[in-house]
A and B are shown apart, each in its own frame.
Chain A
Amino acid sequence: MTPAIEFRGVQKNFGPTEVIRGIDLVIQPGEIHAMIGPNGAGKSTLFNLVTGRYHVSAGHIALNGEDITNRAPHDISRKGLSRSFQVTNIFHRMSVYENVRCAMLWNLGYRYKFWQSVRNKRDLTERTDEVLAQTGLSSRSTVLAGLLSYSDQRALEIAITIAGGANVVLLDEPTSGMSSAETEQAVTLIRDISATRTMVIVEHDMGVVFDLADRISVLVYGKIIATGTPAQIRANTKVQEAYLGTDAEP
Chain B
Amino acid sequence: MPDPRKLGIGALIVALLIVLPMMISSSFALSVMNQIGIAIIFALAFNMLLGQGGMLSFGHAVYFGLAGFVTAHVINGMHVDAFPYIPVTLIPLVGGIAGLFFGIVVGFVSTRRAGTAFAMISLGFAELVTGLTLIIVFFFGGEEGVQTDRWVREEWFGITYGPDIQVYYLIAAWCVIAAILMYALTRTPFGRMSNAVRDNPERTQFIGYNTHRLRWLAFALSSFFAGLAGALHAINVEHVGFETVGLGQSAVILIMVYIGGTGHFAGPILGAILITLLNAYLSDVSPAWYLYLGLIFVLIVMFAPGGLAGLIMMHEPIRRTAPYLLWQMAPAYGAALGTSLVGLAGAIGLIEMIYFRSTTVSLDSALVLYGIELDTGDIWPWLICAALGAAGGYGCKMTYPRVAEAYSAAMHEARALVTT
Contacts and interface: CB of A to CB of B under 8 A. Distances in A.
Given A107-B208, A160-B207, A91 B191 contact: no
Contacts of A164: 207-208
A111 B211 CA distance: 12
Given A105-B189, A112-B190, A113-B189, A91 B210 contact: no
A238 interface: no
Interface string A107-124: 100111111111100000
Given A77-B208, A83-B206, A107-B208, A113 B188 contact: yes
Interface in B204-222: 205-211, 213-214, 217, 221
B187 interface: yes
Interface string A183-213: 0000000000000000000000000000000
A106 interface: yes
A72 interface: yes
B200 A92 contact: yes
B203 interface: yes
A89 B208 contact: no
Interface string A158-184: 001001100000000000000000000
Interface in B183-198: 184-185, 187-193, 195-196, 198
B12 to A, nearest CB: 23
Contact of B189 (A53, A82, A112): A112
A74 B200 contact: no
Contacts of B217: 112, 114
Contacts, number: 92
A103 B208 CA distance: 8
Contacts of B208: 74, 77-78, 105-107, 164
A106 B200 contact: no
A118 B198 CA distance: 18
B189 A119 contact: no
B187 A51 contact: no
Interface string B169-191: 00000000000000011011111
Contacts of B214: 112
A79 B92 CA distance: 42
A102 interface: yes
A104 B209 CA distance: 11
Contacts of B196: 91, 94, 102
Contacts of B316: none
A117 B187 contact: yes
Given A83-B206, A102-B207, 13 more contacts: A51-B206, A53-B206, A73-B205, A74-B210, A82-B206, A91-B199, A98-B195, A105-B193, A106-B207, A114-B191, A117-B184, A118-B188, A160-B203
A20 B188 CA distance: 42
Main secondary structure of the interface of B (DSSP, over half): helix
A140 B233 CA distance: 46
A23 interface: no
A90 interface: yes
Contacts of A94: 195-196, 199
Interface of B: 184-185, 187-193, 195-196, 198-200, 202-203, 205-211, 213-214, 217, 221
A101 B192 contact: yes
A113 B203 contact: no
20 contacts: A51-B206, A72-B205, A73-B205, A89-B200, A91-B196, A92-B199, A93-B198, A94-B196, A101-B192, A102-B193, A102-B207, A103-B207, A106-B207, A112-B193, A114-B217, A117-B188, A118-B192, A160-B207, A163-B207, A164-B208
B206 A73 contact: yes
Contact of B213 (A91, A112, A116, A118): A112
Nearest to B184: A117
A55 to B, nearest CB: 14
Interface residues of A, number: 37
A107 B206 CA distance: 12
Nearest to A91: B199
Contacts of A101: 192
Interface string A66-93: 0000001110011000110100011111
A93 B190 contact: no
A90 B203 contact: yes
Interface in A110-155: 110-119
A59 B246 CA distance: 51
A111 B188 CA distance: 10
Given A74-B208, A107-B208, A93 B195 contact: yes
B347 to A, nearest CB: 36
Contacts of B200: 89-92
Given A114-B217, A117-B184, A118-B189, A89 B202 contact: yes
B181 to A, nearest CB: 10
A110 B189 contact: yes
A135 B191 CA distance: 26
Contacts of A103: 207
Contacts of B221: 114
B184 to A, nearest CB: 7
A189 B209 CA distance: 26
Contacts of A89: 200, 202-203, 206
Nearest to B208: A106
Contacts of A106: 207-209
B188 A91 contact: no
Contacts of B211: 74
Contacts of B198: 93
A78 B188 CA distance: 20
A117 B193 CA distance: 12
Q: Which 8 pairs of residues, A with B, have the shortest CB-CB distance?
A: A106-B208, A114-B190, A110-B189, A73-B205, A91-B199, A77-B208, A103-B207, A113-B189
A74 B206 CA distance: 6
Nearest to B213: A112
